[in-house]
Amino acid sequence: EDQLKGRDMLTLLDYTNEEITYLLHKALVMKKETLSGKMPPILPGKTLGMIFEKHSTRTRISFEVGMVQLGGHAMYMNARDLQIGRGESIHDTGKVLSEFLDGVMIRANSHESVEELAKHASIPIINGLTDLFHPCQALADLLTMIEVKGSIVGKRIAYVGDGNNVAHSLVIGAANMGMHIAVATPAGYEFNQKLFAMVQKIAAANGGSVIQTYDPVEAVENADVVYTDVWTSMGQEEESAHRLEVFKDFQINDKLVGHAKKDYMFLHCLPAHREEEVSASVIDGPNSYVFQQAGNRLHAQKAVLATLLK
Ligand code: CP
Ligand code: NVA
């Protein structure tokens, strides 16, 4: 716990499997305490700043509710309204925010700008989604798999769709847990290849594996967990028609999940587009855990906040 205090969470690449396991365990304990009304307020008087350059439902609400439940405060800031929106430097913004706040959660277009903010801020910076990573999502994903499957070491997970921010963080997390991971994307929409080499090492060190394929059936074969995300991420709206065409064979539907284990679980970070990346029959079906998964954003992030900010 002490080695995590004051740290940033920009990507799970900066966290060891012991640290990730610690946070997941803490999240499970805190979830139980919260649901039984026995959670002590462990961050009284602490304020989390939340900066958004993009839309959000889950991230904004779960961080704000999380801080309230921990006895602290959260402050929503639209990046447009800050002076940073009129050209104040990230350097100065980081220094100034550190004078007022105990931590910052930021959702930004560019991962580099978040790294720059973390470099100049003396308080923990938590990534609430960038073009490259979505670490808080991955923690909630792992938490949900553990709740449903018990141990996830050696379990098979298939990610089918766009090799995006959500895919990157999911695979880093799953590799740390020693899962067997298959990523299926269309050509040209692969997982970041530098990152792929890194996660292969992480998976191997933990007894797991990662493969990439262009064949969704190959990825889903015998899977315990089937995961997808939108085909068009925020900021890519202009490519949306083209992407619909490119991704059309990558939909998670009854035919595709017929290749997964009978008791497979379907996960999606949400927001979802029914009949695009996933059929209504799957996302609204008995193997879907997407709302439990969304709810776990709160519990996973409370563990992060309680550990990094304390
Ligand atoms: N999954 C997720 O981060 O959702 P929001 O965009 O609603 O925050
Ligand atoms: N990949 C999506 C995730 C949204 C939570 C996006 O970046 O828009």
Report whether 250 contacts 160 (CB < 8 A). Answer: yes
Cis amide bond preceding 41, omega within 30: no
**Do 12-133+296-308 and 136-293 share a fold?**
yes
- Provide the residue count of the chain: 310
Residues 114 and 53: beta-carbon distance below 8 Å:
no
Which among 230, 243, 267 is the best mutation to test ligand 2's pocket, defined by most ligand atoms within 8 Å of the CB?
230
C-alpha distance across the termini of the chain, in Å: 10
Distance CA 267, CA 217 (A): 17
Nearest-Å Rg of the Cα atoms of the chain is 19
Q: In Å, how far are 19, 64, 165 from 41, measured between CA atoms?
A: 23, 14, 32
Sign of the dihedral through C-alpha 151, 19, 290, 309: positive
**Residue 235: HSE in the Cβ half-sphere, 13 Å Cα cutoff:** 12
The ligand minimizing its distance to the Cα of 296 is 1
Residue 41 three-state SS: coil
Residue ranges per domain, the chain? 12-133+296-308, 136-293
What is the best residue among 129, 139, 159, 238 to mutate for testing ligand 2's pocket, by most ligand atoms within 8 Å of CB?
129
- SS3 state at 89: coil
| Whole-number pLDDT of residue 85 | 87
Residue 269 Cβ inside 6 Å of ligand 1? The answer reads yes
Question: Catalytic residue numbers?
Answer: 107, 134, 137, 229, 269, 297
Q: Identify the pLDDT of residue 310.
A: 77
- pLDDT per residue over 269-288, tens digit each? 999 999 999 999 999 999 99
CATH class name, domain 12-133+296-308: alpha beta
Report the pLDDT value the prediction gives residue 4, as an integer from 0 to 100.
Answer: 96
Distance 145 CA to ligand 2 centre (A): 20
pLDDT tens over the chain, length 310 residues: 789 999 999 999 999 999 999 999 999 999 999 999 999 999 999 999 999 999 999 999 999 999 999 999 999 999 999 999 899 999 999 999 999 999 999 999 999 999 999 999 999 999 999 999 999 999 999 999 999 999 999 999 999 999 999 999 999 999 999 999 999 999 999 999 999 999 999 999 999 999 999 999 999 999 999 999 999 999 999 999 999 999 999 999 999 999 999 999 999 999 999 999 999 999 999 999 999 999 999 999 999 999 999 7
Distance between CA 87 and CA 271 in Å, rounded?
31
CA distance 138 to 52: 19
Ligand at shortest distance from the CA of 133: 2
Instruction: Please tell me if the CB atom of residue 291 comes closer than 6 angstroms to any atom of ligand 1.
Output: no
Q: Which residues pair with 73 in a beta bridge?
A: 47
In words, the CATH class of domain 136-293 is alpha beta
